[in-house]
Amino acid sequence: MHILTIWQKELKQFFLSPIAYVILVVFVTLAGLFYFDLFTYFVQIQAQYQNYQNPMAMQQLNVNDMIITPLFHNLSVLLLLIIPLVTMRLYAEERRSGTDEILLTSPVSESSIVWGKFLGAISFYLVALVLTAQFPLILFKYGNPDVGKLLTGYAGLFLMGASFIAFGLFTSTLAKTQTQAAIWSFFMLLILWIIGWLAESVTGIAGAFLKHAAIMTHFGNFAQGIITVGDLVYFGTFIFLFIFLATRVVESSRWR
């Protein structure tokens, strides 16, 4: 019950803040620009092959590989920039305004506080994802998009976003200001992103470890329409680990 109360409070605060609407507008606008660029390129290539009367090349063109998969990868880059702005206020703002003392002295468990805030941020993020769904739906008028690949890609975006939110919430419990929380979250998530590139130039056990630790390795499978148990375990472990750590930080604040 406490979790639901905090979830409702957090979601309400999101939509009472003008920053939240700015984030939604920026996210959807950039997603639309990415989609328009990919779609335009696809139409241009299709027109060229038609002019050359090359039926074999025409058969190789499909919206799944040329639009859907690249679009999901582009959206994943946006998450790296947007999620730290979503999570920066979750707990750091409570500390700045002094309302964390009210939470910590109330009969609400630390896990309820953390999970309530996490679910509030997840709900806001889901609104952003739903707003971007209009773009791939347009493809049904011009091609034969793979519904399974669309659903899998969005499942990957949801899990990646949830992982970023869990980590951002953790940094927000540590930071003294919202700006500090956003910067810490962005740079640490960027490291998880970059090690995927490093893994390509490292061999042996170290290379395998870096590849497994890189978040893009696991999201890439979802973007390709592939769901594996290993990827689900990775994202699930990531989320619960940082929710657990955030809870321990809040718990330590209560006993100071």
Range with the largest mean pLDDT of 37-46, 170-179, 201-210: 170-179
Nearest to 164 by CA among 200, 199, 191: 191
Could you write out the DSSP letters of every residue in 144-157? ---HHHHHHHHHHH
The CB-side HSE value for 95 (13 A sphere, CA atoms) comes to 19
- Neighbour-count burial of 90, counting CB atoms closer than 10 A to its CB (0-12 exposed, 13-18 middle, 19+ buried): buried
Q: Which of 38-52, 75-89, 150-164, 219-233 has the lowest mean pLDDT?
A: 38-52
CA angle (163, 167, 168) in 5-degree steps: 115
Q: What gap in Å lies between CA 239 and CA 181, rounded to an integer? A: 18
Sign of the Cα pseudo-torsion (96, 113, 130, 242, in order) = positive
pLDDT of 8: 87
Mean pLDDT (the chain) is 83
105 contacts 39 by C-beta, under 8 angstroms: no
Asked if pLDDT for residue 58 goes beyond 60, the answer is: no
Structure token pair of residue 55: 């039926």
According to the model, what pLDDT value does residue 164 have?
A: 95
- Is there a contact between 181 and 87 (Cβ–Cβ < 8 Å)? yes
Q: What is the pTM of this model?
A: 0.89
CA distances for 141 relative to 63, 137, 138, 145, angstroms: 11, 8, 6, 10
Other beta carbons less than 10 A from residue 192's beta carbon: 17
Residues 164 and 186: their CA atoms lie apart, in Å, by: 9
Per-residue model confidence (pLDDT) at position 17:
82
Report whether pLDDT(255) > 70.
Answer: no
**Higher model confidence: residue 220 or residue 213?**
220
Average pLDDT over residues 218-227: 87
Q: Tell me if 185 sits within 8 A of 165, measured CB to CB.
A: no
Cβ neighbourhood burial of 72 (10 Å; 0-12, 13-18, 19+): buried
Nearest to 198 by CA among 231, 190, 79: 190
CA 115, CA 121: separation in Å to the nearest integer? 10
Residue 157's pLDDT is: 94
